[in-house]
Amino acid sequence: MIFESKPHPRDALATELEKQVEAFVAAGHRIQQIQSGIGGQVFTDMAAARQYQLKKERAKLAPALLRQAHAGQSLAQAARNLKINCNRALLIAQEHDIEFGEELSSHESCSGTHSR
Query: How many whole angstroms separate alpha carbon 55 and alpha carbon 70?
Result: 22
pLDDT at 114: 41
pLDDT at 96: 93
Instruction: Convert the pLDDT of each residue in 65-98 to its tens digit.
Output: 999 999 999 999 999 999 999 999 999 999 999 9
Query: How many whole angstroms separate alpha carbon 42 and alpha carbon 47?
Result: 9
pLDDT at 111: 62
pLDDT at 66: 94
pLDDT at 49: 82
Q: What is the CA radius of gyration of the chain?
A: 27
pLDDT at 43: 55
Nearest to 114 by CA among 27, 47, 95, 104: 104
Instruction: Convert the pLDDT of each residue in 6-59 to its tens digit.
Output: 778 888 899 999 999 999 999 999 988 877 777 666 556 777 788 889 999 999
Residue 37, sorted as left (phi over 0), alpha (psi -120 to 50) or beta, turns out to be: left
pLDDT at 44: 64
Query: How many whole angstroms separate alpha carbon 17 and alpha carbon 22?
Result: 9
